[in-house]
Amino acid sequence: MRVLVTGAGGHLGRRVVDRLESAGHDVVGLSRRPGPRAGWIACDLASEGDLARAAPSWGAIEVVAHLAAHVPEDTARNAPEDFHATRRANALGTAALLHALAVAPELRAVVYASTFEVYGPPSRCPIDEAHPTLPQSYYGASKLAGEKYLSLFAADRRLPCASLRFPAIYGRGDPVRRALGNFIRAAAAGEDLVIHGDGLDRRDLVEAGDAAEAVVLSIERRADGVFNVGTGRGFTIREMAEAVQKVGGGTSRLVHRDRVRPRVDFALDASKAHAILGWAPRVPLEEGIRDQLEGVRSGAASS
């Protein structure tokens, strides 16, 4: 099967490409910057010129895994430049890609990487797919717009199209600065692990390999609609810190500081993904942390 993967050089994309290739699929990688791999196409989706140049070289694409996105370093900050960057890359980039796919006659399915940030303040925990969507970040709003464009595309082309709503995706090479990654970087540097508040806030996490598996299963099963991909219960910030401390085996201590944000518990109910995709998280937290920590120690994720 010929699969177009956007964001192929990213944290999630690299793993999706590896899995698809080992399953014998023919992968065409798209990445914003040239050169992660020979034969991949450099393309900024929001640029009309880039897309027009790239589309003829895709060939007869049968499946698209649309994983490319702009993720601001701190999505809660909502800086004006985050609005412009996410509007361009995520809302417009997705619309432009779908428009370009209007002329892909062999196309049979699209899978889109979305985010838990489409939900906004949780009114229940865990959150299921029917929960209202009131994003609190420009990033979440832009990813939701991408989901909505994909729904129009699915109805128009009568194709199965899936939006996978991921929580934070961790694992070796995780570039994002948030709780778990910060703990891991601190542990690697022999620094203390700082918890703001009591650390009982719950967050969901998915290891990058497990996340990639959800994308591959969605492709294979021709999934249609919106799917949460998460653990269903998440981990408390304290559990994350303790796991990092244990795996790190060093001298890092847990240190409590004042809370900076009000307490929010957040986990994604993935029973739909379990029932329809046959997906379940497989990598235990400590194992995922060990891998990411090794990556940091060997300098693979110095970013």
Active-site annotation, residues: 139
How many CB atoms are located within 10 Å of the residue 206 CB?
28
Pick one of 2, 108, 148, 233: the residue that binds other proteins (CB under 8 A): 148
Compute the least distance from the CB of residue 120 to other proteins, in Å.
9
Q: Is 203 helix (H, G, I), strand (E, B) or coil?
A: strand
Among 60, 152, 189, 200, binds other proteins (CB under 8 A): 152
Residues with Cβ within 8 Å of 262's Cβ and at least 6 positions away in sequence, in order, are none
Residues 166 and 57: their CA atoms lie apart, in Å, by 30
Q: Which of 1, 50, 74, 87 contacts other proteins by CB under 8 A?
A: 87
Cβ proximity to other proteins, 133 vs 236, nearer residue: 133
Estimate to the nearest angstrom the gap between the alpha carbon of 212 and the chain centroid. Answer: 9
Q: Distance between CA atoms of 7 and 297, rounded to whole angstroms?
A: 26
Of 120-139, which residues contact other proteins (CB under 8 A)?
132-138
Q: Is 102 in the site for other proteins (CB under 8 A)?
A: yes
Nearest in space to 15 (alpha carbons), one of 164, 172, 220:
172
Q: Is 144 in the site for other proteins (CB under 8 A)?
A: yes
Rg (CA), the chain: 19
**With CB under 8 A, what is the number of residues at the site for other proteins?**
32
For other proteins, which residue of 16, 89, 92, 215 counts as binding (CB under 8 A)? 92
112: contact with other proteins by CB under 8 A: no
Amino acid found at 250: G
Strand partners, 34: none
Q: What is the contact surface with other proteins in residues (CB under 8 A)? A: 48, 78, 80, 83-84, 87, 91-92, 95-96, 98-99, 102, 132-138, 140-142, 144-145, 148-149, 151-153, 155-156
